[in-house]
Amino acid sequence: MYRFWHGEYRVAVNINDYLDIYCPYYEGPPSHGRMERYILFMVNHEGYTSCQHRMRGFKRWECNRPSGPDGPLRFSEKFQLFTPFSLGFEFRPGHEYYYISSPHPNHVGRACLKLKVYVRPPDGSGYDSPEPFLTDGGPSWRPGSMTLLAVLASLLLGLFSWL
């Protein structure tokens, strides 16, 4: 179950939970300039507090069809330890992850929206991740970086063993 605490948009999830993000949607024909469009980013803590995605953030989704024929856009984030996708993101229990929105470039001046997601550790496990995620200390914050590295390493090993 997801809860918001003390006016701060914060959600606590478990591993293998899904979080659905629904984009603004307009059924009627409002004026084009009043339709909300956002770009959603996953950022580190510094990017979250400053609401600045250019500081260690990456684009996660784009809400760019506020009146599309198929209804509102929905994006789902699955909080999993491992992902089979090279561009997927892996989450660790006991860590917080940060999302911010940036208005679409044609709609500058709108407020920055923020969401903090805490991934709960399993009950009683005291799990602590062996490596930091979404930190300023290195490239480990990038989505699927370890997966991509493993794929590249296996391809190189296969290439050299074939020669």
The domains of the chain are located at: 10-162
pLDDT at 98: 92
Tell me the pLDDT of the chain averaged across its residues.
Answer: 70
pLDDT band at 130 (very low <50, low <70, confident <90, very high): very low
Look at residue 94 and tell me whether its pLDDT is greater than 90: yes
pLDDT at 14: 94
Q: Is the pTM of this model over 0.85?
A: no
Mean pLDDT value of segment 77-87: 83
Q: Please, what's the b/e burial string for 2-27 (b: 16 or more CB within 10 A of its CB; e: otherwise)?
A: eeeeeeeebbebebebeeebebebee
For residue 80, what are the CA distances in angstroms to 16, 22, 108?
5, 20, 34
CATH architecture of the domain with range 10-162: Sandwich (2.60)
Q: Which of 14-18, 33-37, 69-73, 147-151 has the lowest mean pLDDT?
A: 147-151
pLDDT at 5: 45
Per the model's pLDDT, the better-predicted residue between 139 and 25 turns out to be: 25
